[in-house]
Copies of this chain bind each other. A is one copy, B any other.
């Protein structure tokens, strides 16, 4: 069950397709790319290309089998295994810990870890916030392959090292900084300030 490589925009459209396909009347057997495109405000060629990669071919005149599409798309998102942990139990860390949206892509955020936490606590939605010392053993007991760095820039390198030493090779960093990392680690930076600045620039141009 090898997953094809897809682009980030295509990945982002998977939940839209699923939502639309599930919203159709249950007796809908087939659906055309044209109809899906119209329903979601996308281009029909784009839909056809996405579905071609993710679900295989459709049939001229009839389109695609709805249930097959749903199954293919779901199986693409299905978490092989492994969840995410957060380093940093401040406001951002807690907000991410309780954010529901990750489930849309089949990702579980298991727990947050904080320096200032002496014994296990619970977030507003009941997820664990644990002492940072317990991170390595947590990663041994649970399958974890994503690390989220939600600490101030001063502590980000420390967090990165800790995650790496706990066996995590993929990290998502909210701190505005440049981390030093071993070659086999992947770090994706989330630049919230840039996103807001870009929006501001767009409207200032008007």
Contact = CB atoms under 8 A, between A and B. Distances in A.
B192 A188 contact: no
Contacts of A203: 145-146, 169-170, 186
Interface in A173-206: 176, 186, 188, 190-205
A11 B201 contact: yes
B193 A102 contact: yes
Q: List the number of copies, as a whole number.
A: 2
A118 interface: no
Contact of A202 (B77, B98, B148, B170): B170
A7 to B, nearest CB: 9
A194 B124 contact: no
A142 interface: no
Nearest to A195: B190
A164 interface: no
B186 A146 contact: no
A12 B107 contact: no
A191 B171 CA distance: 17
Nearest to A41: B178
A124 B194 CA distance: 23
Given A80-B204, A94-B91, A124-B91, A146 B99 contact: no
Contact of A196 (B77, B107, B186, B197): B107
A90 interface: yes
Contact of A172 (B5, B169, B188, B199): B199
A46 interface: no
A120 interface: no
A30 interface: no
Contacts of A145: 200, 203
A95 interface: yes
A138 interface: no
A58 to B, nearest CB: 24
